[in-house]
C-alpha cells in the first residue's frame, strides 16, 4: 500500500544553522530508504519548509517506523503533519 507523508520543518524552534549539520545524514538516510524500496518519491514542499514523501508500506505503523529513522525527525526538528493512506485511482482501469 502507498502512503503520502507530509513533513514540516520546525522553523519556530530551530534556525537554518541548526538544520545545517543534520542535512547530509538526513539525505543519506532518505537515499537508504529509497534503496530499500520503502520510499518511492520525495518532494520539497512549495508552501512551507518541509517535505512530501511517498512510501510503500504495509500500514501507517511501518511508515512511522521509517520516518523515525530520519535524523531531523529524531532531533525534533521535523514534524509529521500528516500520513495519508492512498488507494488506486479507478479511472484508468477497465470499465465495469
Q: How confident is the model at residue 93 (pLDDT cuts 50, 70, 90)?
A: confident
CATH architecture of structural domain 2-85: 2-Layer Sandwich (3.30)
By the 8 A CB rule, do 7 and 49 touch? no
Which of these, 55, 51, 43, 57, lies nearest to 72 by C-alpha position?
A: 51
Report pLDDT for 95. Answer: 75
Distances (CA, A) of 94 to 47, 64, 79: 36, 34, 40
Domain borders along the chain are 2-85
Residues ≥6 apart with Cβ < 8 Å to 28: none
Q: How confident is the model at residue 33 (pLDDT cuts 50, 70, 90)?
A: very high
Report pLDDT for 20. Answer: 97
C-alpha gyration radius of the chain: 15
pTM for the model? 0.91
Amino acid at each position: 500500500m502507498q502512503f503520502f507523508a507530509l513533513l514540516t520543518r520546525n522553523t519556530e524552534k530551530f534556525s537554518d544553522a541548526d538544520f545545517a549539520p543534520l542535512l547530509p545524514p538526513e539525505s543519506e538516510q532518505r537515499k537508504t530508504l529509497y534503496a530499500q524500496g520503502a520510499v518511492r518519491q520525495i518532494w520539497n514542499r512549495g508552501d512551507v519548509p518541509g517535505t512530501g514523501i511517498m512510501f510503500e508500506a504495509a500500514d501507517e505503523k511501518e511508515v512511522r517506523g521509517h520516518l523515525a529513522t530520519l535524523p531531523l525527525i529524531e532531533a525534533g526538528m521535523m514534524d509529521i503533519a500528516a500520513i495519508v493512506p492512498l488507494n488506486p485511482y479507478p479511472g484508468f482501469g477497465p470499465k465495469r
